Structure 1
Amino acid sequence: MKIQKDDLVKWEVDEPDLIADPLLIRKRITDVEKALLISLPNEYKDYIHLVADQACSPLSNLDNFIARYNEKTRMIVMATLSSTNRIVTSTKLLQESIYDHRSLLPDGLIVIGSDYDDDGDAYIIYDVRADSPTYRNVFHWRYYVDNLVVGDGLGLLALSLREFLHKPALEDKL
């Protein structure tokens, strides 16, 4: 489903009046797809165009989300959704590790943002594998402790990016 400006009412960018050249945005999208050897879903491309490829954060106090795991839920505090440059850098960084026994991000799962939990930084993961049963789902991943199993180490945030964009809430409303 197409993401539209109304889907971003709970989000803000640093320069809301920035008008980016659509050709430049398309080039940045192509650069991400080439660098990560993926094809971005149309909903994500729509989002990148709408925010002019800027980092995007929930409005003040609307930065709380629920991540659903197999047997529990976890409240997370959202920091930011990334620009395309940061998506490539973060995804590539989490696809390699110098540490033993660390889960590595497989091809087709990309890092689209970051958040905080009780122990430190964590990531917002987006499944862009067209043949996956979780295609276009958005997840929470604490890379330093959680494995990459849906429901176990990947907490479901939303079934699509559009749904995720509507989820920010006040802490007492969760």
Structure 2
Amino acid sequence: MTGLPGPPDDLPTDFRAFHELHREAYVRRAHTIVNDRSDAELAVDAAFEQLARSWKKVLAMKNPAGYAWTVMKNRAIDMARSRGRRIQLEHAVFETAALRTAVDPIDQLAESLLLRQAVAALTDRQQDVIVLLYYHAYTAAEAATHLGITAAGVRSIARSARRALHQILEHSGDIDDLTH
């Protein structure tokens, strides 16, 4: 836990457990924002430093995990801006095995770009759920843990996101099976 205040043993046990539970998911999501693993790690470490400084207040909040997720995303956005990068979903999020094995890689790439644009039109929460569930392959329960909501909430957001994607892609004239 580099950069955190004090030696790791001086940090509260519950903070260390929280860090261990969430760090990799946070880095993965931050990477989709900053498009660089090293910068994602720096942003997440800065988020955990911020959380460690006010850990007692964070724990007293109604939704500590949700607050921590927001802190992480804000740090990732700040990192991207400080590096002069546009804030957008990383292109690699939509480069799937389908692209590598596609009969027509150009059509598959066009489809992937269309999907990226459609996901970018979703709300932040819908984007988080779609990225966690479909890009990082988290279960609804795992995504819920990181987002600070219930698994039922994740499934509900995923349903509304898929409906929104279907509508967006339908208007673009090319929905195929992208939302199923």
Q: Higher RCO, 1 or 2 (CA under 8 Å, sep at least 6)?
A: 1
Higher helix share: 2
Which structure would you say has the larger Rg?
2
Query: Which category of TM-score, normalised to the shorter sequence, fits these structures?
Result: under 0.3
